[in-house]
Amino acid sequence: MSDHEAVLPPPSATPQAAELAPALAMWLQRLHAAGLGCQGVALHAADAAWRAPFERADVAEAWAEARARVTRDSPVALGRVTTAELLVATHLMLPSGQPGIVGALLSPPHNDRSLQLLLLSLGWLQLTLSAASLAHNQRAAELLELMGHVASQKDARGGAQDWVNRTAAWARRELPPTGDLRLALFEVRHERARWWVAADVAYAETGSPAVQAATEIAQRAFVEGRELTDPEAWALPLLDQGEVVAVLVAQGQATPAAQQVLRTSAALAEPLLRHWRTAELPLPIQTWRALRRVGGRLRGPGHWAWKSGAAAVVLVLAVLLLIPVDDRVTAHTVIEGRTRQLVTAPFEGFIAEALVRPGDRVRQGQVLLRLDDRELKLEQARLRGDRDQAAAKLRQAMAEREAASVAMASAELQGAEGQLALVEAKLARAQLVAPIAGLVVSGDWVQQVGAPTELGKEMFEIASEGYRVVLHVPEHDIARVRTGQRGVLRLAGQPQDGHDFELSRVTATASVQDGTNGFRAEAAWVGETPPLSPGMQGVSKVVVGTSNLVTIWTRESVAWLRLKLWQYWI
């Protein structure tokens, strides 16, 4: 909040309540003029701003008791004090709409006429307080209307000119008929008060005597930081954070009532006009001013919060820029077996029995799955019969020594034997066996007995006992990855444990994972191999060097910006 805003009444002392003491004093005088011996008056309300106690301390207890007895059904309460005065307490409606209780201390003799005069005079007191409230509301409405006109202007100078014209017209209404008042608003720039706008003129000659006189008193008010009053001028410095940022100068007859109007109006309008004018400045100038303000607070006395914050920022920057840390490349990682082999279907057929499932460990030559071979066995029996018949024909032809018959029987026998060999080979492969010892990675056929298979269909994948780490290095980091670099892997199933590895191979094989293009890199474990299973995934961080934190955090953004600049501008 600006310091000059203190000219506005605080919430606890509203302008209506400020009229309370004079109104009670005038009411007491009127009671005396009416012939009533009134020793004092008081007012009590829920709002502390509308409380005026009796000056005599011996009346406090009786006043509290009388207030407690005033109700809607019994609006008047009487009481006596030790000195024989009559204490009268009754309802009074305050201008704010809240109820109050007014009290009067009457000297003897007491009679009904005195009480009636007192109650009749309450109408004058309520009217006086309401008139003060009405005047204040009218001033507030006029001030709001003035600010509405100012805010409707297009720029700061137009708003300032409209404000100073309307404020001057408002203040002149508080002057005598022969009084005159001229207003000028000065802004403080570079330690000098400079003319900005004046009432009733759009431009002023800076060398004119009137402007020179106004500038002189404005500069004095700026230097001294307080109101100045000369026989022909009055200056009001307007503050922000304890610094003078503008000066309002009134030349002519500035009465106390007019000064109060100017204080109230300036306190409300000046911050709006100042921020409005600052917002119209070019961004470089605003930045320079902000830096100057910050620099002034850091160099000047006090402002320990700013200085502590600046020291903390410098310390953080030093840590971010000067302390080297490991520069690491992050890559998605998958665990694979050192050797992987596929077991495929040797021919079209149906599954007869599945003996293993993924996750089972098998030995080399162990039967994994059996295909239905009943048709093959029938075919084998038929082909054996054909082979025997062909052999019998060959023997007969040889006995008869017919060369042509021998040749035909021999060809028929060879064909039958070939077909039989083919069927027997299929029968031999009807049992799928493990080519290596290891872990079954894929191929769950237990629940699919009787399902058809196709020639060459992948049935099982078996991984050997050894494992290797396969990294998917993002494309923008592949240039910094080299064989022999070390890193740490954390698996999704074991995020609490880190496992060391060393890159053994960086390939040129590219692939897309999660929308990111990258290259395949392989790594070997360093130290003891953890309990793993092929297919486990995690995140690896490869140490590729050292750098400061700012470079690490901004590398990707800077690289993206360079590429875009080269793409569109160069």
Q: What are the backbone dihedrals phi and psi of residue 377, each rounded to the nearest 5 degrees, phi first? A: -65, -40
Q: How many CB atoms lie within 10 A of CB 105?
A: 23
Q: Which residues contact 351 (CB under 8 A, 6 or more apart)?
A: 369, 370, 371, 372, 445, 448, 449, 450, 451, 453
Same CATH topology for 154-284 and 466-545: the answer is no
Q: Which residue has the tokens 């084998």?
A: 380
Q: Which residues contact 55 (CB under 8 A, 6 or more apart)?
A: 40
The pLDDT of residue 108: 85
Sign of the four-CA dihedral 73, 76, 77, 78: negative
Q: Which of 192, 198, 181 is CA-nearest to residue 223?
A: 192
Amino acid identity of 302? Answer: G
Q: How big is the CA angle at 375 (ends 370 and 378), to the nearest 5 degrees?
A: 120
Radius of gyration of the chain (CA): 52
d(CA 436, CA 366): 9
Q: Which CATH number fits domain 154-284: 3.30.230.10, 3.30.450.40, 3.40.630.150, 3.40.50.970?
A: 3.30.450.40
Q: CA–CA distance from 58 to each of 26, 39, 53, 84 (Å)?
A: 24, 13, 12, 12
Q: Which residue has the tokens 């022999």?
A: 484
Per-residue pLDDT of the chain (570 residues; tens, 9 = 90+): 334 433 333 333 344 455 788 888 888 888 888 888 888 899 998 888 888 899 888 888 889 999 899 888 888 888 888 778 888 999 888 877 788 899 998 888 888 888 888 888 888 887 777 776 666 667 777 888 888 888 888 888 888 899 999 988 888 888 888 888 889 999 988 888 888 888 877 655 655 777 888 888 989 988 998 999 888 899 999 988 788 889 999 988 888 888 888 888 888 888 888 888 888 888 888 888 788 878 877 787 877 888 888 899 999 999 888 999 999 999 999 887 767 778 888 888 888 888 888 878 888 888 888 888 888 788 778 888 888 787 887 778 787 777 777 788 788 778 877 888 887 788 878 888 888 888 887 888 888 888 888 888 888 888 776 677 899 999 888 889 999 999 999 988 888 888 899 998 898 888 888 888 899 998 988 877 777 777 788 999 999 999 998 888 898 888 888 888 888 875
Q: Which residue has the tokens 């698996």?
A: 491
Reported pTM: 0.45
Considering the segment(s) 15-140 as one domain, its CATH architecture is 2-Layer Sandwich (3.30)
What fold is seen in the domain 466-545?
A: Elongation Factor Tu (Ef-tu); domain 3 (2.40.30)
Q: Which of 462, 448, 468 is CA-nearest to residue 365?
A: 462
Q: Which of 249, 237, 364, 264 is CA-nearest to residue 8?
A: 264
Q: Which residue has the tokens 């008081």?
A: 42
**C-alpha 492, offset from chain centre:** 31
Domain ranges of the chain: 15-140, 154-284, 341-460, 466-545
